[in-house]
């Protein structure tokens, strides 16, 4: 496997491992060997070279697969017209399900059950919620934090500062007002500073979405510390490690839906819907066909039965699902 300054498989984000699983299945598809598939090969090269972690994840898939002519791609390797896999073409009408299944199985072997139980984060946390559960945390200043499914926080209160770190997931903050003792929520992307208000913070992919219900908050990006933005009631913004996105109004009924045991979507991409469903069920749903990512869905779904919600969504969009186990579902 590629040496990456001490990077191990556990250091590779799950989203990248998932992308590598999908690309690995495509590379083993007979269409990938077709001279007409230049565009797909170019897309693979772009993805592979975009981040050293992409290469590391793909190498991990390849080394476990064990059928490549080389155990990994060298630094100078790119895919042009020559196939990188020497094997007989597979007759099919869509890219072979067996390759997708095998690659996803490799992803599962590598990623383990980290999406269900992230024990390192739990060891760091003071409070956490299990998959499919909500937890209410009462702090000594009468502030209240409601943890959504599979979420974790770390609390550090001093005489001068009330500090909470959202380690993963989503939380609703009802902060008791104290002008002399600010309340700060830290995330890997940035911070939210208040004196007393109500707001929601959701960690999703590489951003932290802050939705303010009342009062005001100040947002600061970790890597762009000079960049700050203020939010007023009914405003929302995403914090990235590289900056802060535009401020916009939001629908409080949608943001608060999880507290009512619902998920609400308005013309939402399937990729985002799946990412949210994954937070509420034990196991993993994986999209193995890029053409499905941006399919739009609208509706209100109950969180009491995420699998029933998935069934309704796939039927509405005419998307096929293959259940490898009760915990692993492929959409294709």
Residue matched to tokens 């100078």: 76
The answer on 44 and 149 residing in a single domain is: no
Q: Any idea what the Cα angle at residue 23 is, between residues 18 and 29, rounded to 5°? A: 135
Residue 95 confidence (pLDDT): 43
Domain tally, the chain: 3
Task: Tell me which DSSP letter residue 321 carries.
Answer: E
Report whether pLDDT(244) > 90.
Answer: yes
Range of the domain at 224: 119-255
Pair 199, 213: CB distance under 8 Å: yes
The answer on 241 and 285 residing in a single domain is: no
The answer on 218 and 123 residing in a single domain is: yes
Q: Residue 162 domain-assigned?
A: yes
Instruction: Convert the pLDDT of each residue in 59-83 to its tens digit.
Output: 776 765 553 334 344 444 444 443 3
Residue that terminates a domain, selected from 56, 87, 111: 111
CATH number at residue 216: 2.60.120.1440
Q: Residue 282 domain-assigned?
A: yes
Instruction: Convert the pLDDT of each residue in 167-218 to its tens digit.
Output: 999 999 999 999 999 999 999 999 999 988 999 999 987 899 999 999 999 9
- CB-based contacts of 275, cutoff 8 Å, min separation 6: 204, 205
Q: How many residues does the chain have?
A: 332
Q: Which two tokens stand for residue 13?
A: 């984000």
The answer on 235 and 282 residing in a single domain is: no
Pair 227, 218: CB distance under 8 Å: no
d(C-alpha 172, C-alpha 177), whole Å:
16
pLDDT band at 16 (very low <50, low <70, confident <90, very high): confident
The answer on 175 and 126 residing in a single domain is: yes
Across the chain, mean pLDDT equals 80
The answer on 305 and 228 residing in a single domain is: no
More confident residue, 27 or 93: 27
> Could you write out the DSSP letters of every residue in 29-76?
SGGGGSTT-HHHHHHHHHHHHH-HHHHHHHHHHHHHH--SSSSS--TT
> Could you write out the DSSP letters of every residue in 279-292?
TTSSSEEEE--GGG
Residue 3 confidence (pLDDT): 36
Q: Residue 35 domain-assigned?
A: yes
Residue 60 confidence (pLDDT): 72
Burial class (CB in 10 A: 0-12, 13-18, 19+), 153: buried
The answer on 313 and 237 residing in a single domain is: no
CATH number at residue 274: 3.55.50.30
The answer on 35 and 139 residing in a single domain is: no
Residue matched to tokens 């499914």: 149
pLDDT band at 310 (very low <50, low <70, confident <90, very high): very high
Mean pLDDT of 35-51: 81
Q: Residue 2 domain-assigned?
A: no
Q: Residue 183 domain-assigned?
A: yes
The answer on 249 and 127 residing in a single domain is: yes
Residue 224 confidence (pLDDT): 67
Nearest to 237 by CA among 198, 202, 194: 202
Report whether pLDDT(30) > 80.
Answer: no
Q: Residue 3 domain-assigned?
A: no
Q: Residue 4 domain-assigned?
A: no
CA distances from 277 to 23, 62, 84, 115, 282 (A): 23, 29, 35, 12, 10
Report whether pLDDT(99) > 80.
Answer: no
Q: Residue 147 domain-assigned?
A: yes
d(C-alpha 257, C-alpha 262), whole Å:
5
Q: How many other CB atoms sit within 10 Å of the CB of residue 102?
A: 19
Residue that terminates a domain, selected from 78, 111, 144: 111
Q: Which two tokens stand for residue 176?
A: 């008791």
d(C-alpha 45, C-alpha 144), whole Å:
48
Instruction: Convert the pLDDT of each residue in 249-299 to its tens digit.
Output: 999 999 999 999 999 999 999 999 998 998 998 888 888 888 999 999 999
d(C-alpha 185, C-alpha 173), whole Å:
9
Residue 40 confidence (pLDDT): 77
d(C-alpha 310, C-alpha 320), whole Å:
11
Residue 91 confidence (pLDDT): 38
d(C-alpha 312, C-alpha 237), whole Å:
30
pLDDT band at 227 (very low <50, low <70, confident <90, very high): confident
Residue that terminates a domain, selected from 70, 87, 111: 111
The answer on 123 and 77 residing in a single domain is: no
The answer on 76 and 34 residing in a single domain is: yes
Residue 171 confidence (pLDDT): 98
The answer on 74 and 198 residing in a single domain is: no
- CB-based contacts of 154, cutoff 8 Å, min separation 6: 124, 125, 126, 164, 165, 167
């Amino acid at each position: 496997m590629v040496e990456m300054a001490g990077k191990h498989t556990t250091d590779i984000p799950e989203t990248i491992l998932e992308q590598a699983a999908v690309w690995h299945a495509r590379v083993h598809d007979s269409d990938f060997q077709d001279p007409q598939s230049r565009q797909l090969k170019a897309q693979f090269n772009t993805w592979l070279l975009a981040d050293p972690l992409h290469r590391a994840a793909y190498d991990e898939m390849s080394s476990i697969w064990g059928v490549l002519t080389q155990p990994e791609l060298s630094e100078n390797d790119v895919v042009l017209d020559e196939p990188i896999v020497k094997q007989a073409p597979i007759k099919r009408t869509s890219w072979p399900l067996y390759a997708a299944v095998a690659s996803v199985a490799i992803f599962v072997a590598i990623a383990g059950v980290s999406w269900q139980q992230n024990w390192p984060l739990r060891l760091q946390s003071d409070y956490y919620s299990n998959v499919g559960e909500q937890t209410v945390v009462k702090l000594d200043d009468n502030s209240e934090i409601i943890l959504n499914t599979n979420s974790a926080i770390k609390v550090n209160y001093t005489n001068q500062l009330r500090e909470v770190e959202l380690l993963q997931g989503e939380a609703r903050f009802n902060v008791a007002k104290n002008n002399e003792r600010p309340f700060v929520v830290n995330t890997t992307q940035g911070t939210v500073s208040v004196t007393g208000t109500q707001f929601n913070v959701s960690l999703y992919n590489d951003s932290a979405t802050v939705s303010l219900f009342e009062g005001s908050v100040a947002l600061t990006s970790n890597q762009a510390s000079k960049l700050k933005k203020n939010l007023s009631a009914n405003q929302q913004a995403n914090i990235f490690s590289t900056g802060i996105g535009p401020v916009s109004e939001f629908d409080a009924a949608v943001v608060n839906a999880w507290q009512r045991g619902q998920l609400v979507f308005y013309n939402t991409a399937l990729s985002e819907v799946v990412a949210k469903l994954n937070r509420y069920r034990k196991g993993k749903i994986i999209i193995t066909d890029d053409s499905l990512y941006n399919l739009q869905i609208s509706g209100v779904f109950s969180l009491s039965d995420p699998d029933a919600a998935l069934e309704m969504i796939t039927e509405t969009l005419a998307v096929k699902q293959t259940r490898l186990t009760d915990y692993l579902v492929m959409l294709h």
